[in-house]
Structure 1
Amino acid sequence: MTRIRVLVVDDDFMVARIHGGYVSRVPGFEVVATAHSGTDALAAVARLRPDLVLLDIYLPDMSGLEVLKDLADVDVLVISAARDVPTVREAMRRGAVNYLIKPFTATALAERLQQYAETRRQLTAIGPEARQDDVDRLFGTPSSVSALPKGLSPATCALVADTLRAAGRDLSAAEAAELAGLSRVSARRYLEYLCVVGRAELRPRYGTAGRPEHRYRWLG
């Protein structure tokens, strides 16, 4: 797996070294350089093309928000003692992927980095076009599958949805139940719900005699 290349930006040399050490301990990440001013940060990004910048707000020559505005084609995780709401809001407006308030632990930074890595992985897995549920997952937006009728479980609904999607073909309620480890009646309830919310479709299969078999296909 390609390692995620990180530039650490902090005006304090020792703090930059500590943060770089935190990053280096997270699997899949490597520190490619450190910078201690806004000017140096912009030059390092242009020269090294990192994937992610850990950016302080308080820099000696310019605000980290100014640096953030001038950065292109690179993700930024703000790490700063600045905790006032206007600064946090401005960082969000200018595209920061996350914001971590100093002082923080190595674990807190590792969690943000792992979240960032997972988002990158999901984007790669989606392919050239995203479905609405893909986008909802990336942005942490509850999908319609979460707003379930009384008596239905979000976890079980997700299990049935994943089972139907992974099958790559239409399934009967009995087949879906066997794959998901559920009863046929339970699987059918969730399959019918997925049809109601437009995630699946019902496809009757007509045999030689008797009632048609109900089969379900994932639509997303």
Structure 2
Amino acid sequence: MDPIRVLIVEDDPMVMEINAQFVSRFSGFVLAGKAFSGKEAITLINQVNPNLVLLDYFLPDTNGLSLLQTIRNKHYPLDVILLTANRDPNHIQEIFRSGVVDYIVKPFRFDRFQSALEQYRSTLKRFKENRPFEQADLDGLKGAKHKSSVLEEHLPKGLNDRTLQQILQFLKGQAEPLSSEDVAIGTGLARVTVRRYLDYLEKKGEIVMEIQYGSVGRPMNKYRL
């Protein structure tokens, strides 16, 4: 398979370089261009024909949703992953309706970025095989988990399914990432108990841990699905 050509659209030069370095660490991907505005992005799309656009929401001359809709209206044969600090549920819903393969919230961990690119590479490879899809293939493309789900695995000693499901169900209803203390208060469980389950879920890749820095004090770990 030919290298996947990536265009990064990001107005912050420092973030641009970080994302470019991330892309360079993956075999099978090549950085095709850098755009710092929506207008520049459209120009580069026409020039370099990317397979994948890594798109920020906040741009100096437009926003990620408007640019995504322009890309779709022009029928460019490319895919888009949002890399943004935008957490507005209405914007996110419209973005998914406009067609993106993933949405990654800043600040994000490298392993989350890695997972997104690896999943995209696997998906693209599957499409290029040009053979009929089975349900298992489609489930794999959407990241669906069935028999291999963490809830059906043998849990470590001291953990049980009921408490695990209680924590997961609570997290599903949250729009923002939460600390272990927030989860403990919301579920009525002891904080030390919640922390054990969150650590387990994070290691299994069922939830994502984000490190948030305040103006004072130590950084705080927060969790989301």
Q: TM-score, normalised by structure 2?
A: 0.60
Q: Report what 2:70 is aligned to.
A: 70
Change (3 A) 1:76 1:130: same
Structure 2 unmatched ranges of 5 or more: 148-152, 154-225
Q: Report what 2:88 is aligned to.
A: 84
The CA distance in 2 between the partners of 1:27 and 1:106, in whole Å, is 15
Q: Report what 2:138 is aligned to.
A: 135
The one of 75, 95, 98 equivalent to 1:94 is 98
Letter in 2 for 1:123: F
Letter in 2 for 1:138: L
Secondary structure, aligned partner of 1:17: helix
Task: Tell me, yes or no, if structure 1 residue 42 matches structure 2 residue 42.
Answer: yes
Identical counterparts, % of pairs: 38
The CA distance in 2 between the partners of 1:141 and 1:82, in whole Å, is 25
Q: Report what 1:122 is aligned to.
A: 126
Larger Rg: 1
Give the deviation of 1:70 after TM superposition. Answer: 1.3
* Residue-pair matches, total: 145
Secondary structure, aligned partner of 1:33: strand
Q: Report what 1:110 is aligned to.
A: 114
Q: Report what 2:3 is aligned to.
A: 3
- Between stretches 74-83 and 98-107, larger displacement belongs to 98-107
Cα RMSD of the aligned pairs, angstroms, is 2.0
Give the deviation of 1:142 after TM superposition. Answer: 6.1
The CA distance in 2 between the partners of 1:131 and 1:106, in whole Å, is 31
Secondary structure, aligned partner of 2:99: coil
The Cα offsets for residues 189-210 of structure 1, whole Å up to 9 and x where unpaired, read as xxxxxxxxxxxxxxxxxxxxxx
Letter in 2 for 1:136: D
The Cα offsets for residues 75-130 of structure 1, whole Å up to 9 and x where unpaired, read as 000000001111211111110100011111222211110111111122223x2533
Q: Report what 1:24 is aligned to.
A: 24
